[in-house]
Amino acid sequence: MPKHIGIIMDGNGRWAEMRGLPRSEGHKRGVERVHETVEAAKQVGVEVLSLYAFSIENWMRPEEEVAVIMELLESTLKKEFESFMKEGVRFRIVGNREKLPETIRAVVEVVEQETRNNGNLILQCALSYGGRDEIIRAVKKAVVMGAGPDDITENYIAGLLDTAGIPDPDLIIRTSGEQRLSNFLLWQSAYSEFYFTNTLWPDFTSGELLDAIHEYRTRSRRFGKVENSKNLFAERFPGMPGTWDV
């Protein structure tokens, strides 16, 4: 089973437009899918679920649409708080918090604080998030801390990212048929498996989440290593030193 699943929740606007509805209706329907997905992930034993809710580039969208998304976020967090406590869900966000409205930051901080000891599932919400922005902020932290060239290691940088202490995603799912990362967990997804579906996010069900997990379990993750201990190069060219396996 994948311990950590990331989902790029894409297609809310298109879902609404296809039905002649305002884009805000797509976002409202998308929020409903979040609750079902969290429940399904928890039931099958996923430890971390990361949802790409709002990218740092999304601030460039029309003010009306951004306002609707922020209002939905605030109301959803207040509504789901009791469920988080009852179901043992720890909530946290990753992203550039400075860009969030003060009212949103206040609600997020309360929910994060109150759920910090819950241990059944970590629900990580990428909000005002961009992978490049996260790495830049991590580098700036290193400079402020006076890090020298010898201090800069993978573990050091990972410890300065928003996701510090959270395992890298095993599986990343993207809905709506697009096949790109869109600046999501760039550092952390170096060896993630990917699952793309044409389903728009408001139509994504727990059944499709299980399909993605099933597909993941059929794959062989080698992390650049060779699964078979036999050296195929040596078999074909006996007597020659070294290996070309990568």
**How many Å apart are CA 103 and CA 205, to the nearest integer?**
31
Residue-level pLDDT at 222: 79
- The H or E element containing residue 66 is helix 63-87
Residue-level pLDDT at 233: 47
SS3 state of residue 4: strand
**C-beta of residue 108 within 8 angstroms of C-beta of residue 93:** yes
**How many Å apart are CA 47 and CA 78, to the nearest integer?**
23
Catalytic residues: 10, 58
Token pair of 132, please? 């490049």
**Phi, psi (rounded to 5 degrees) for 150:** -75, -15
**Phi, psi (rounded to 5 degrees) for 219:** -90, 160
Residue-level pLDDT at 220: 85
The residue assigned the tokens 């740092």 is: 56
Residue-level pLDDT at 221: 81
Helix pair angle (206-217, 23-43), 10° resolution = 50
- Taking the domains of the chain in order of start, what are their residue ranges? 4-236
Residue-level pLDDT at 245: 46
* Fold annotation for 4-236: Undecaprenyl pyrophosphate synthetase (3.40.1180)
**How many Å apart are CA 39 and CA 89, to the nearest integer?**
10
Residue-level pLDDT at 223: 77
Which residues, at least 6 apart from 205, have a Cβ–Cβ distance to it below 8 Å? 33, 36
Residue-level pLDDT at 139: 96
SS3 state of residue 114: helix
- pTM as predicted: 0.89
Residue-level pLDDT at 159: 97
Intervals of the chain under pLDDT 50: 229, 232-233, 243-246
CA-nearest of 246, 212, 169, 245 to 6 is 169
